[in-house]
Each structure stands twice: as structure tokens, then as C-alpha cells.
Chains A and B, each alone.
Chain A
Amino acid sequence: MEGNHEKARVRLCYLCNQRRAALKRPKTLEQICRECFYEVFEEEIHQVIVKNQLFKPGERIAIGASGGKDSTVLAYVLSELNRRHNYGLDLFLLSVDEGITGYRDDSLETVKRNELQYGLPLKIVSYKDLYGWTMDEIVKTIGLKNNCTFCGVFRRQALDRGAALLKVDKLVTGHNADDIAETVLLNILRGDIARLSRCTSITTGEDGPIPRCKPFKYTYEKEIVMYAYFKRLDYFSTECIYSPNAYRGFAREFIKDLERMRPRAILDIIKSGEDFRISTSTKMPEQGICERCGYISSQKWCKACVLLEGLNKGLPKLGIGRSRGLDNNHRKDVKQSNGTKNIEGKQCGSLDF
């Protein structure tokens, strides 16, 4: 009985033809064993790093670490590759404490364990220190509407400021192929041409103070989670306690449905995003500098300063909505998506491109 049951299920690895296959790769549909999976998974990321010249020897690199699966696997794989291939990088973990009780305080504990497990120095920057407000305090003031806008805008700057404090040359984030496909789709749905044209770049902000890059650009979420599971990596997977971004949730659900039918869809959406040509008559916003804090901005003040001004003056609606002309449509979208059944996606603010 036992023998039959094993025989019925055992399939050999497509690559080594010796060990039992443990998973089906979404990218190639190959059935491979654990050991070969570790090898191809790590090697592909190494190839992406080399081909795109993401790093130079001697560079200081901050890994944006939330304690979640993507950044945990990134920290693990990057320190492994750094050793194996002598990248010569100084790696650091950089975390943002948004001040969300029962959520971020717990996930920061995971990052602190990662600091010891991987031997990478950790720097935590907090919204409270940078802006004078925790997310808990912001939500108390503005309620559960638009709080993700505040969090997303603040996180982006917080990571840059933390990276500056660590004096790193680059910041890497754990955005994976699924995240990028989802963002391509969202930028199309929002008509956000400026973001559409840059969201598929593996490195962004090269003209700014601290470039960011995404070594997992072509790495499927399924493989990241399988890798973390097989290697028993320690990660945190609770959702943010504040309302999830419903619009992004729809895009995510759609991508996952497509993936089930045709796993290549994810890479194909990224390819479409990469190959879009933006018509030259499209007016693109010009990058300048915030007059108040000196951060990059296409407006007189950067978004964080506008939002902070609103908070400090008791006018938290200030700076919400992309522009006056679009505000009505924007509100309609929000209403519609709130009215539908609860579709939850990833924590909303973790994906800022």
C-alpha cells in the first residue's frame, strides 16, 4: 500500500533526474527537486544582478526590510550571493517603523531576528522621529480613509532618509515579478503614464541621491514563498491592521487568476510595460526639488510636506487626490471598490514605485 502510494506520486526532477520533484516552476513549468530549485533560483537572481550591473565592488547596499517574505528572502539570498560570488558588498538592513501597534512592532521583531541570523547590521527609522507623527496618531486624526496615502508617501521618503543615514550607495527592495506586473496594470488603469514608463525599470532614481533596484524583478512570488518555506526562513505575514488598498487588491486578484491559467502572463505583462513607448506629445512632470525639505518633487512642495502641513494644521484632506480635475473620478473609484466584498491584497503601502 505504502509503496504503491509513493510510486503513484513520485516524479523525478527534470534537471538532475535523480531526486523526487518538489515543485513546478511557474516560469518554465519544469518539475524540479528542492536542491535543483535552490540552485536555479539563486543562480537566476545572480544572473539578473550581473547582466544589469546592479552592484559594483565595495558598494554599501541597504536592503529595505519589512520582515515579510520578499525582503526576508532577499536579505538571505543577497548575503549568500555576496559571499559565494565575492560581490564585495557591505550589506545593511533598513526598516521603517510606521508606528502601527500590533503590526509593525511585531514585524520589526522579525527583522531584529534576521539581523542576528544573517549577521547584517540593522537601522530602523521611524515616522515619529522623521515626521513627528506615528501612523496610529495619523489614523486617530484622519480616520481610515486615505491613511494608506500618508503611509505610502512617508515610507518612500523614510527609506531614502534611512539610506542617507547609513551612507549607502544603493537601496534594494524585494519587489517581485508579481508586484511589478500588478503595478504595470494599475498604472494603466490610473492613466499614470509617468509611473508606467518607469515602474518596470530594474534600477530607478539614478539621477537622485540614492538609486533603488529590484533584484527580484523576474522572480515569481510563488518561488519566493516556496524558497522561504523549504528553507524554513523566519518571516512575518500578518496584514496591516488598517484598511487595505482595495483597488490594488482587484489588480492583484486579476493577476493571480491569469497566472493560474497561464503562468507566463506575469512575465508578459512586465514585457509589455518595458516595451511601451510613450508618445512624445505626452506632457511629463518635471522633477525638481521641494522648497521646504529639499526632497525630489515635481511640485513646489513634495507630497510628504503637503500631507504634513495638512496634518499639523488640522486639515488632513490637504494633498489627497492626484489633482483637482481628477478628484471626482478618484472618489467614485474609492466608493465603488469599498462597496464590493472584501478582497484583500498585500499590505497597501509596501509597493511604492
Chain B
Amino acid sequence: MQLTLEFGGGLELLCDSVKIHDVNVIPNNEVDKLTMKDLLVWVRTNVIKERPEMFMKEDSVRPGVLVLVNDCDWELSGQLDTPLEEKDVVVFISTLHGG
């Protein structure tokens, strides 16, 4: 599944200072089904290069990290249960850096 990931607010520092990543995520078991919960695990393994604890806490993002799926707050689409589709754009922004 082709997705565009964007990291901002300082989170890009955890992945070689690259903000935008075009990725191809292959769903684990069930075909054609990918949720944000799966994506987070995939991102932690495949995209984050350092200090993963700045990105995730337990099985979700660290509190203070905002998530938008296709420019919509993931709190409106079910957070971890948000289903993902081909060509979705997922944005992660830390609110924890700087003032």
C-alpha cells in the first residue's frame, strides 16, 4: 500500500531529518487491511532511526504527538482503529518541541 508520511514539529529529527517519506507498506496478515495501529508499528521499525520513545508510548503515539490522516485529526477517525487506504497521507507532528 502506497502511503505518504510526513513528520513535523521536530519528529523529523528521529528519521534523519527527512520530513516526507513515500513508503510502500505491506499489510501483515490480512490482505488489503491496514489500520493506524499497524502503521505505527511499521513506522517504528522501518522509518524511525533513533529515540523511538519520542514517537511512541505503549502501542500508540506519545501523548503530545498529533496525527492527521488526509489532513483530518485522527481523533475523528478512530485513532488507532483508523483504516488506511491506498495513497493516504499521514502526518505526525510533535507539540513537544520549542516554544
Give me the interface of A with B, judged by CB distance under 8 Å.
5, 8-9, 11, 20-24, 31, 66-71, 107, 174-175, 178-179, 221-222, 224-226, 229-230, 235-239, 252-253, 256-257, 259-260, 341-342, 344-347, 350-351
Specify which chain A residues have a CB less than 8 angstroms from the CB of B76 in the assembled complex: 9, 11, 21-24, 31
Q: Most chain-B CB neighbours within 10 Å: which of A71, A107, A225, A345?
A: A225
Q: A239-B10, A257-B63, A346-B98 are in contact. List 19 more A-B contacts (CB 8 A).
A: A5-B83, A9-B70, A23-B73, A68-B98, A68-B99, A70-B99, A229-B8, A229-B66, A229-B91, A229-B93, A230-B71, A235-B98, A237-B8, A237-B97, A237-B98, A256-B62, A259-B63, A345-B96, A347-B99
Specify which chain A residues have a CB less than 8 angstroms from the CB of B16 in the assembled complex: none
Q: Which of A175, A225, A238 contacts B93 (CB 8 A)?
A: A225
Q: Which of B8, B75, B99 contacts A351 (CB 8 A)?
A: B99
Interchain nearest-CB distance for B51 vs A (Å): 7
With A8-B83, A226-B66 given, is the CB distance from A252 to B96 under 8 Å? yes
Q: Most chain-B CB neighbours within 10 Å: which of A175, A237, A256?
A: A237
A-B contact pairs, 6 of them (CB 8 A): A69-B95, A69-B98, A178-B95, A226-B66, A229-B93, A238-B10
Specify which chain A residues have a CB less than 8 angstroms from the CB of B8 in the assembled complex: 229, 237
- Contact between A226 and B73, CB atoms less than 8 A apart: yes
Indicate with 1 or 0, residue by residue over B60-99, a CB within 8 angstroms of chain A CB atoms.
0011101010111101110000010100000101111111
With A226-B66, A341-B53, A342-B51 given, is the CB distance from A21 to B72 under 8 Å? yes
Specify which chain A residues have a CB less than 8 angstroms from the CB of B25 in the assembled complex: none
Q: Most chain-A CB neighbours within 10 Å: which of B64, B73, B76, B99?
A: B99
Q: Is B13 an interface residue (CB 8 A)?
A: yes
Interchain nearest-CB distance for B96 vs A (Å): 6
With A21-B72, A256-B64 given, is the CB distance from A222 to B95 under 8 Å? yes
Q: Which of B77, B83, B95 contacts A225 (CB 8 A)?
A: B95
Specify which chain B residues have a CB less than 8 angstroms from the CB of A342 in the assembled complex: 51, 53
Q: Is B56 an interface residue (CB 8 A)?
A: no
- Contact between B75 and A225, CB atoms less than 8 A apart: no
Interchain nearest-CB distance for A151 vs B (Å): 13
Cβ-closest chain A residue relative to B72: A22
Q: Is B54 an interface residue (CB 8 A)?
A: yes
Specify which chain A residues have a CB less than 8 angstroms from the CB of B75 in the assembled complex: 23-24
Interchain nearest-CB distance for B35 vs A (Å): 13
CB-CB nearest 3 A-B residue pairs = A256-B63, A68-B98, A23-B73
Specify which chain B residues have a CB less than 8 angstroms from the CB of A253 in the assembled complex: 63-64
Cβ-closest chain A residue relative to B6: A229
Cβ-closest chain B residue relative to A350: B99
Specify which chain A residues have a CB less than 8 angstroms from the CB of B73 in the assembled complex: 22-24, 226
Q: Determine the distance from Cα of A226 to Cα of B53 in the docked complex, in whole angstroms.
A: 22
Interchain nearest-CB distance for B20 vs A (Å): 14
Specify which chain B residues have a CB less than 8 angstroms from the CB of A238 in the assembled complex: 10, 13, 97-98
Specify which chain A residues have a CB less than 8 angstroms from the CB of B54 in the assembled complex: 344
Interchain nearest-CB distance for B83 vs A (Å): 7
Q: Determine the distance from Cα of A154 to Cα of B93 in the docked complex, in whole angstroms.
A: 30
Q: Which of B13, B63, B72, B99 contacts A23 (CB 8 A)?
A: B72
Cβ-closest chain A residue relative to B99: A350
User: Among residues 2 to 19 in chain B, which have CB atoms less than 8 Å away from a CB atom of chain A?
Assistant: 8-10, 13
Specify which chain A residues have a CB less than 8 angstroms from the CB of B71 in the assembled complex: 22, 230
- Contact between B96 and A346, CB atoms less than 8 A apart: yes
Specify which chain B residues have a CB less than 8 angstroms from the CB of A179 in the assembled complex: 99
Q: Determine the distance from Cα of A24 to Cα of B75 in the docked complex, in whole angstroms.
A: 6
Specify which chain B residues have a CB less than 8 angstroms from the CB of A174 in the assembled complex: 99
Q: Determine the distance from Cα of A253 to Cα of B94 in the docked complex, in whole angstroms.
A: 13
- Contact between B97 and A239, CB atoms less than 8 A apart: yes
- Contact between A346 and B99, CB atoms less than 8 A apart: yes
Q: Which of A226, A257, A346 contacts B97 (CB 8 A)?
A: A346
Interchain nearest-CB distance for B55 vs A (Å): 12
- Contact between A237 and B63, CB atoms less than 8 A apart: no
